[in-house]
Amino acid sequence: MHTNYYFVYGTLKNGHRNHHLLGGSLKVGDFTTKPEYSLLDLGSFPGVVKNGTTAIHGEIYKVSSQEVEGQIDLLEGYQPHGKNNLYHKELITIENKPVYIYILNTSVVDIAKYSEISSGKW
């Protein structure tokens, strides 16, 4: 069976407008990353960048559908091997579990235009 874990921190979280895209994915729980990132307010959604000092608060979902993964990738502007993706999809470890997270592609997004959310919560 195909299964991956995803750390979501914005509109895919429970109660937010794109949560339905997760379909029947199982919520594992609420988690926080290591304080190695910055969370930016991009207006109607947030973005995470590396090399910061903020722990990002979010939720981890167990995704067992390639269709759901495709929907999430599409929402996040991600294509495998795409150079102009809005986000990169990367594996990180949270509490000894490998999970995917979407990291802003700073070669496409001018992050200097956006304010940081110092709490790490969107």
For the chain, domain boundaries: 4-114
Give per-residue pLDDT as tens, 12-37. 999 999 999 999 899 999 999 999 99
Contact 105, 81 (CB under 8 A): no
Give the containing element (helix H, strand E) for 68: helix 66-75
User: Catalytic: which of 59, 76, 90, 95?
Assistant: 76
* Eight-class DSSP state of 100: E
Give per-residue pLDDT as tens, 40-90. 999 999 999 999 999 999 999 999 999 999 999 999 999 998 889 999 999
76: annotated active-site residue? yes
For residue 61, the Cα-to-chain-centroid distance in whole angstroms is 11
Give the Cβ contact number of residue 78 at 10 Å: 18
CATH C-level class of 4-114: alpha beta
What pTM was estimated for this model as a whole?
Answer: 0.95
Mean pLDDT of the chain: 96
Give per-residue pLDDT as tens, 45-55. 999 999 999 99
